[in-house]
Structure 1
Amino acid sequence: MQLMTKKRFHTYCYGITASLCMFINGFDASVFNNLQGIPRFMNDMDLDNNAPEDQNLIGAVTSSYMAATIFAGLFISPFITNYLGRRASIFTGCVVVIVASLVQTFSSNVETFIGGRIVLGLGQGIALPAGPVFMSEITPPEIRGRMLSFWQMMYSVGALVTSYSALGTQRSPWLGDWQWKSITLIQAAIPLACAVAIFFCPESPRWLVQKGKEEKARRAIARVREPEQVDQELNEIKAAIEWEQKHTSNSLKDLWIEKTIRKRMILGMIINFGQQITGQSMMNNYSTKVYERVFDSASTVLLINALTYTFGILFTLTCTFLSDRMGRTTMLIIAGIGQGIMLLIAATVYITTPDIITIAEDGSTSISKSLGVGAALCLVMFLFTFFYKPGWGATVWIYTSEIFPMSVRGTAVSICTNTQNASNLIMAQVFPPMFTGMDFYAFYVWMGVNFVLAFLVWRFYPETKGVPLEEMDKLFGGANKVEELHHEQHDDVSYTKDEKLGA
């Protein structure tokens, strides 16, 4: 086990700074889910969780955010990331999120709130794709999986802060409108910290070399590597980029022209789309709706949400310790099977146990389950999170950020990770009416999805554990750029010598 040197510690600090983007995402993505459990917010927005006519509008709050994220992720983030740098994209996204937080906080109706969600999605779409790219490019291969596991863990931390904030304010009715406004205002704090801190981090040395800034790249590498490693890594980066410039169009056309890159795009899009249809999107955006079928106390539902995210942090640590030992594909396969089994158990328990019907004083009725059944369902869903967080949560981000060549990495990662948002967008619109009509039978659908995803990974995905970024092409059937460039240069030297001898 390698000792924690000063340079290694700095690498972790820079990576965690970038991972604050995922904290912001976890906080923002969980806000509306938790706000649905605060009656004051639902009244102010004139929404009813149980009214069929409000389901499309409730779905629109989430889907508008996702649509904006997709747009910014595909058309704005790649431009900033490729031309201005990874740090610039993170900084810009954080500033936009701060503006969006203020718009949401001072919304007086659901239409204005949706407007704030759209601005929020734009900020997230700009910042998120740059984060894992930056982290993978400054991290040595032996700890890359461990470092990127923090990315997913920060999502759980952000969601955790949202959940406990909602739990605290929901129990403080004296706050009035600030029961929910204080939560949306807190959204501005972390992006402010990230926007300030990111420029204390070095820029990606791979981006600097690509832009012809070799000396700046050397200084950036020196901040995260031991002195004896600097020249070797710089030379490998230069060799890989020089090979790309000589043998590819060195443009986005490579995404569909170059066979090995096209293959990686397809594989990356599949696992990123699959991440959200494992059942994760449903539980993240609408766990309040799900648990309201089991418990009749809003406070209990918010507490369960908070506990889910608390355990999510602990479960993600599994990836931190295992991703660079067990491997990416093994974790995805085990997680997919485990998630499917948990959804099977949850649906079967709910469907086969009796309902408890409660009649309130005003004549309204509510349906819930016994305390034992509720506890059993919570345990099963916690176990779903146990499999999801280190597997299809963290490992998908790790795999996606490390498989693409430098020439297209920023755009390719942006496209792949935005298939998560496309999937989430579909789920945001489909799930509310689907769950209203199918109830827990819907869980069987996602159970099947998980088993299919596990099979696809087992059959088609190569293992990337411990492979340097400059050697990923060889793993996917392409050339080893460093070796080929070395051979070409050797052949050129030999040819020149032969010419001289002939003369």
Structure 2
Amino acid sequence: MRLREAWDQGSSATIPSLPGFDKQFHVSSGSDAEAISTYVSIIYIGYAVGAALSFFVNDRIGRRWSYRLYSLVFIIGQMITVGAPNMGALYASRIITGMGIGSLSVSGPMSIVEISPKEIRGLLTAMYTVSMGLALTVANFCVLGIHRNVPSTNLQYQIPAFSVAIFMALCISASFLISESPRWLMMVGRKEEAVQALVDLRRMPADHHRIVAEVQDIETSLILDWGDIHGNSSLWLVAKETFTVPSNLRRLQQVLVAYALAQLSGANSVTSYFIPIMSILGDTGGTERHMFLSGMYGFSKLIFSLISAFFFIDILGRRKSLFIGITAQMISHIYLGVYIKFEQSGPVPNGASTFAIVALFIHAFGYAVGLFILPYVFGGELWPNRIRSFGGAVGATCHWLFIYAIKYAFPEILSSMNNWGAFIFFAGWCFLGLLYTYFIVPEVAGLTVEEIDMIFQGPWYNAFRRTKRGSVINGLEEGSMHDIEKEIKK
């Protein structure tokens, strides 16, 4: 699901450098951040709209049919891109495409969390973002191949749009071979199908103690949420619970801050404006070199995301992963800011120039380990069953609005801060992110979705003391388990 967003990020960073695109849509230069800012950023308006509207669909038609519907919207947007006669039509196509991607950004992590065993929930949710590194790489090298081998016609930008639409059609077909979410099936009163889905997912018999325990956990959670095994709530009741229950407000705060920090750390801006940034760093290697490095940047995200998924998220835990990732981003930003400042004053050593490019890849490592994967993990795993769809929709909507604001403003941030100041600005936000992680973010690795409910009880200022299962299961920090359950029922 994440592949669609990543494909767009990768292709939108390089397609404006294609002569056929520039000729058709009268773009002055793909290396000019201001010239391509609207093209790059306007899709995120569609992302936000799609994410917001997904709440009205996800719980009504299920995770699989939601996936098919959103994928179809994405395909329609891409087909409009293929036939766009002018920039206005291209902008409209990007908003429609964004609506499909934005909706998928809610249902994707939510679905993975709902089907994942607790021991590898972080790993499996991380796979959602690992696909972004794969898509970034494929998209960038696809555009590079087009630049080299396809004449300067409309086909240069039409091929990437049509190719990903074909892939999405295949994904819709493949979705008929996957299982529905057991938790959603239980929510709508289809218990037998839910048990069968768990049997299919876990490859265990229905009477296995693991299956029996998981079904009981889901049922208990739904009873605590609704007072019975299944039921429906109005938007007003779900919104009221989300915004008035203190523990849910803490969840919302953590999800929104994580999404905001991901953008204020400058990571997505580096991805989408990679070629203009290479020009700012003084690299004069030409369009093909910049496209190649952009492709390698996407490939590095793929490798770093795989490393993060297997060795960081569940093994080291969420908090340590955030510390390592944000620190790496901050150091790379500081180096880039200092380098650009000195480069503007006169010649710099070749080694310093080379390391400036290396710093971009260190930044990619830090982002992959921390703020790339974990906001999506938080956005899917922190919510109670009753409000997971709504909470995910609110979080993703704000996420895409954050991205739109930062990406649209990035050229202005560069110019107003004389280029180098922008990277120091992002480094400052990384430092604030470290403080936030230490004081606010609790460790939830290894907890079931139902156990996570309990860790958000109590004051926010000592959340960093509530780590893993001990304080949750024993209920020692905020009172007895009885008090915690009473609070959940409220």
Q: 2:122 aligns with which of 145, 150, 165?
A: 145
Matched, 1:282 2:272: no
Matched, 1:307 2:296: yes
Aligned counterparts of 1:292 and 1:471: Cα–Cα separation in 2: 49
2:379 corresponds to: 400
> What 5-or-longer segments of structure 1 have no aligned partner?
1-20, 357-367, 489-503
1:61 corresponds to: 39
User: What is the identity, as a one-letter code, of the residue corresponding to 1:29?
Assistant: Q
Q: Secondary structure at the match of 2:176?
A: helix
User: What is the identity, as a one-letter code, of the residue corresponding to 2:385?
Assistant: M
1:462-486 CA-partner distances (Å, limit 9, x unpaired): 10000000111111117989x769x
CA contact (8 A) 1:91 1:127 kept: no
1:323 corresponds to: 313
CA contact (8 A) 2:238 2:390 kept: no
CA contact (8 A) 2:330 2:426 kept: yes
1:176 corresponds to: 153
Matched, 1:436 2:415: yes
Aligned counterparts of 1:388 and 1:51: Cα–Cα separation in 2: 23
Aligned counterparts of 2:414 and 2:17: Cα–Cα separation in 1: 17
CA contact (8 A) 2:17 2:31 kept: no
Change (3 A) 1:99 1:355: farther
Structure 1 position 278, deviation (Å): 0.9
CA contact (8 A) 1:24 1:190 kept: no
Q: 1:196 aligns with which of 173, 178, 196?
A: 173
Change (3 A) 1:354 1:128: closer
Larger deviation, residues 369-378 vs 254-263: 369-378
Q: Secondary structure at the match of 1:273?
A: helix
| Max Rg structure | 1
Aligned counterparts of 2:37 and 2:151: Cα–Cα separation in 1: 29
Matched, 1:213 2:194: no
User: What is the identity, as a one-letter code, of the residue corresponding to 1:289?
Assistant: P
1:352 corresponds to: 342
Matched, 1:295 2:283: yes
Structure 1 position 373, deviation (Å): 4.4
1:300-350 CA-partner distances (Å, limit 9, x unpaired): 110110000111111111222221110001111221111001110112122
Q: 2:433 aligns with which of 437, 447, 453?
A: 453
Q: 1:469 aligns with which of 442, 449, 474?
A: 449
1:230 corresponds to: 211
1:70 corresponds to: 48
CA contact (8 A) 1:345 1:380 kept: yes
Question: Number of residues paired by the alignment?
Answer: 453
Q: 1:31 aligns with which of 8, 11, 17?
A: 11
RMSD value, Cα: 2.5
Structure 1 position 174, deviation (Å): 2.7
Matched, 1:243 2:232: no
User: What is the identity, as a one-letter code, of the residue corresponding to 2:215?
Assistant: L
1:270 corresponds to: 257
User: What is the identity, as a one-letter code, of the residue corresponding to 1:203?
Assistant: E
Q: 2:324 aligns with which of 325, 334, 338?
A: 334
1:418 corresponds to: 397
* Amino-acid identity (%): 20
Aligned counterparts of 1:267 and 1:120: Cα–Cα separation in 2: 28
CA contact (8 A) 1:169 1:175 kept: no
Structure 1 position 50, deviation (Å): 8.1
1:13 corresponds to: none
Structure 1 position 372, deviation (Å): 4.5
CA contact (8 A) 1:28 1:187 kept: no
Change (3 A) 1:373 1:171: farther
Matched, 1:114 2:104: no
1:491 corresponds to: none
1:258-301 CA-partner distances (Å, limit 9, x unpaired): 11011111111110111112111211221111112322301111
1:101 corresponds to: 78
Structure 1 position 355, deviation (Å): 7.7
Larger deviation, residues 456-465 vs 80-89: 80-89
Structure 1 position 423, deviation (Å): 1.0
Change (3 A) 1:34 1:91: same
Structure 1 position 451, deviation (Å): 0.9
Larger deviation, residues 62-71 vs 326-335: 62-71
1:358-377 equivalences under 5 Å are 372-377=351-356
User: What is the identity, as a one-letter code, of the residue corresponding to 1:319?
Assistant: S
Aligned counterparts of 2:151 and 2:60: Cα–Cα separation in 1: 50
